[in-house]
Amino acid sequence: MHRACLLIGLLVSVAVVHAQSHLDATADERLNKSTAVYAAGKPLGALLTELSAQSGVKLIADRAIAEHRAILVAEGKPLHEVLSRLAEAFDFDWSKRDGSGGAEYTLYQKGDLRRADEQYARDMRALSQDLLRAMASQALARASKVGFDEMLAEAKQMRVDTAKDGIAVSQEQAKRLLLDKAMGFLTSWEDWVAAATFARLSPPDLARLKAGEPLAFSTAAQNTPVPPDTLEMWRKRNSAVMSIRAVDSAGAEVQIPEAARQGLREQEERAQAMQEIIVVLYQSPDTGQVTYTIGPPEQPGNRVMARFISRDISIGGGIADLFDTDRALNPADWKLAEMIWRMTKKESKEIDDERILARVTDANPAIKTDPLNRAAILTADAAKKAKVCLAAEYYPLYSPDDATNPPDMLGTLKAALNYLTEKRYLGRLDGDWAIVQYEERPFARLHDVSQEKFAKWFYSKDGVKRQQTLDDLGEIAHLTEPQIHALAERQNSLSMPTAGSGDGTFTFSSRIAMPALMGIGSLMDLKEDPATRAAYRLYGSLSAMQKDALQKGEAVAVKILTPQQQRQFAWAMQLGAAMKGQPPVEADANTVANTARIELKLEQPRVRMALVASETGQEPVSKDMEFQSKIARLTLTVGDRSISARPVTLEKKDLSDGGV
């Protein structure tokens, strides 16, 4: 608990700290130059380069912070004031170095503040581990006294109580609420099975899990930590699929298409025939988060109907792997930070200043071509119209809704500041300046991704959104899990249509359905499946010639790889086997030398699905849909064992009448 208490001192809102400045305008007259600047989500390095060209003063962003983005708007202000306010928004400092051409100024983050950010992340991970242990022990103790349904109902009530009690509480109260009601994180029977399995792990198994080794346990094994009635409960839960009813927004029953109904019948039959269930636990070395998978052993025929929810409604179906049900057991460190922030958040004080109510009437065309910075552009426009100087730090990757659909009310600076506040930013007026800081900056800074890389992975050179290539995925797989998670969430937000766009009925529904139906999602799969991440890290380390051979259908022999790549291959094989509930891959040195290989298989499957969808005020509609995709499946083989990463989409084509 000492560790958790230490956390309280670190969970503080961003303090107002004016930079200890070396920007002395009396010693350097150039700093008095009148400055005009408009930057919306621009990297600090590029921003200071522009200001250098404008002012003649050499301004540099330290390499460690050069890719962090800023919103900076000012007109007719002296350069030293603009630079001081920029540093203030980030809590950075300026250093000065005399040169032959005059003084040079470098923006940097003090080492003690950077170390505090790193400690903050470590302590959040420690609290996440405390929550995991509390959740498992509470769930195991309670389940021994009441049935599953009663226990899950109690967990749901705990979530309600925590949300209700967590309004404007102190940080210590928030921590205590989370630990006392940790069982409230359980949202399903599968969550309980995973938590109970974790609670029963032996010390050696816990050590292996913490070291990053996936653990697979069967209900058929002796002395298994999996709860004894797991198989029976799994069969029971899957025998209820035929009772599923599709209803519209008014509660009226909608007829489920026969194709979907038949799929549900097949799922029930297979469920009753299963003889064992596998529970896999895996702890991320990046975040400490434990994910789990529950299902029957991977065998031919273990395929089921995937069910998904439409906007208002109902049920649809398609083929998906029964075993691909990865879920997180405990919250990731950055998610926990957000959770505590929301529990301790107090109502923002109204800013009474008529300037921030000035309307922005001109649409900025840059919004359409730069969706990543959409909220930044709207905010900068509003500040310019209001004639208010603005300095803000901006982390678009960690505010995924920004690029999707900022509300139309962003026509005033007040509305823009309020919108950013909902994204965990803190804004205030200070004289002629609006200063905006990010309250969860430690994670955003530690796991930021450069604007250049984001643009490269998500957009073509002419600014059109595109699908990631295999080479892109190889690069992305080398990022940290929080970075991959943020990129996947951003991709998802950029893919979602805005309200009222297109047909509405099927456009929205099918975009939700397709990843679930086809087992594809590219970045989502990298985020969710450690074995897929490991396989693409290996792919990303290959030479251009080796990648070209794979894409031509030629296998790459592992024996020609470097020792480090061979170790990556072995780890990806073992991880892939464990995550699918399969036994370890065992082979002698001779077998590995002669048979170990990497292959890339290209497939063009067609997927048909029946979709029932309805929207508020509309009659439910049924539609048959068909898609064809070009997908790539990376496969690692040793002897007679093959492990495949999840398939990734290279192309997708709608074959339905009228398209989607």
pTM: predicted TM-score of the whole model, two decimal places: 0.77
**Are residues 555 and 597 in contact, defined by beta-carbon separation less than 8 angstroms?**
yes
Q: What is the SS3 string spanning 595-651?
A: HCEEEEEEECCEEEEEEEECCCCCCCEEEEEEEEEEEEEEEEEECCEEEECCCEEEE
Strand, helix or coil at 315? coil
Helix ranges (DSSP H) in 12-77 = 44-55
Q: What is the SS3 string spanning 254-299?
A: ECCCHHHHHHHHHHHHHHHHCCCCEEEEEECCCCCCEEEEEECCCC
Per-residue confidence (pLDDT) for residue 315, from 0 to 100: 34
- d(Cα 238, Cα 4) in Å, to the nearest integer? 40
**Mean pLDDT by groups of 10 residues along the chain of 660 residues:** 32 37 85 95 95 95 95 96 97 91 92 90 90 91 84 84 67 84 87 92 94 90 91 77 54 64 72 84 86 74 33 31 57 83 65 60 54 80 88 82 49 79 83 89 87 83 78 92 83 52 32 38 77 93 94 93 92 87 82 91 68 49 64 90 84 58
- d(Cα 336, Cα 122) in Å, to the nearest integer? 12
Query: Burial, 319: exposed, middle or buried (Cβ in 10 Å; 0-12, 13-18, 19+)?
Result: middle
CA 195, 201, 206, 212 torsion-angle sign: negative
User: Residue 561 gets which letter from DSSP?
Assistant: S
Per-residue confidence (pLDDT) for residue 623, from 0 to 100: 57
Per-residue confidence (pLDDT) for residue 336, from 0 to 100: 84
Query: Which residues make Cβ contacts (< 8 Å) with residue 575, sequence separation at least 6?
Result: 214, 530, 531, 534
**Are residues 113 and 69 in contact, defined by beta-carbon separation less than 8 angstroms?**
no
- d(Cα 153, Cα 167) in Å, to the nearest integer? 22
Per-residue confidence (pLDDT) for residue 298, from 0 to 100: 64
- d(Cα 495, Cα 41) in Å, to the nearest integer? 21
Tokens linked to 347: 């109502």
Per-residue confidence (pLDDT) for residue 339, from 0 to 100: 83
Question: Which conformational region is residue 76 in: left (phi greater than 0), alpha (psi within -120 to 50 degrees), or beta?
Answer: left
Q: What angle do CA 575, 579, 583 make, to 5 degrees?
A: 80
- d(Cα 152, Cα 172) in Å, to the nearest integer? 26
- d(Cα 57, Cα 51) in Å, to the nearest integer? 8
Sheet hosting strand 215-218, strand order edge to edge:
215-218, 278-283, 290-295, 327-328
- d(Cα 550, Cα 363) in Å, to the nearest integer? 47
**Are residues 224 and 217 in contact, defined by beta-carbon separation less than 8 angstroms?**
yes
Query: Which residues make Cβ contacts (< 8 Å) with residue 402, sequence separation at least 6?
Result: 374, 375, 376, 396, 423
Tokens linked to 591: 């077998």
Outline where DSSP puts E strands in 125-277. 215-218, 246-247, 253-254
